[in-house]
Amino acid sequence: MATETGFAAFDSSRKLKSVNQAFLDLITGDGATPDNVMDCDCEDLLARILRSFDQLDGAPLHASDPEAQTPGDTYPALIARWAASESGPMEALGADGRWHLLTSHPRYDGGTTFIAVDISARKEAELAQRDSDEMLRLITDSHPLPVWVADIETGEIIYESLSASNMLGRNWDPGKPQFIAGHYLR
């Protein structure tokens, strides 16, 4: 599956100068096209896009409590964060269930280009891996026999079950490298 990349380039006066449809497709139910948004203000267009996201870096964007602060109050701060290239990429979950990696890049003319890459396939793979890891952990932690998972090339222990730690009479410290060869005599 091809990765879909959207972009929007703004000049130094924060007016839109170039955009592709993939970027505008982030705005749900809007029908925006490159022709009808040209010269749009940066903050206006990016706020429309942010309204289409449910989460940004794992935090919900829309308060379920009507008494809570409205997300509209936070859009200028979120736009500034997206525009700060030194803060690194942000992950956004759209209302449509697709994930996007958001970055910005300064332009030679003093403007900014905003990029949105569809990373849905990668996020699905990450979630599947996390579920698989959790299943392995549940099985090995409840199994009475000792279990080690070690890197075959280095011999470093990547995972040690509770029964393996108990058998060796020590506490497992994942921050301290352990090697399987160090336990052969035990």
pLDDT given for residue 12 in this prediction: 93
pLDDT given for residue 73 in this prediction: 53
Hey, is 181 helix, strand or coil?
helix
Using alpha carbons, list the distances in angstroms from residue 119 to 30, 35, 147: 22, 27, 34
pLDDT given for residue 106 in this prediction: 92
Residue 29 has pLDDT above 80, yes or no: no
Residue 49 has pLDDT above 60, yes or no: yes
pLDDT tens per residue across span 51-95? 889 888 888 876 554 454 445 457 788 888 888 877 789 999 988
Taking the model in full, what pTM does it have? 0.67
Residue 173 has pLDDT above 80, yes or no: no
| Distance separating alpha carbons of residues 32 and 41, to the nearest angstrom | 14
pLDDT given for residue 1 in this prediction: 40
**49-53, long-range: CB within 8 Å, 24+ apart, which pairs?**
49/23, 49/116, 50/75, 50/78, 50/79, 50/92, 51/27, 51/75, 52/26, 52/27, 52/28, 52/94, 52/95, 53/92, 53/93, 53/94, 53/95, 53/100
pLDDT given for residue 64 in this prediction: 54
pLDDT tens per residue across span 97-116? 899 999 999 999 999 999 99
pLDDT tens per residue across span 115-169? 999 999 888 898 888 888 888 778 877 778 888 888 899 988 888 887 887 877 7
pLDDT given for residue 180 in this prediction: 79
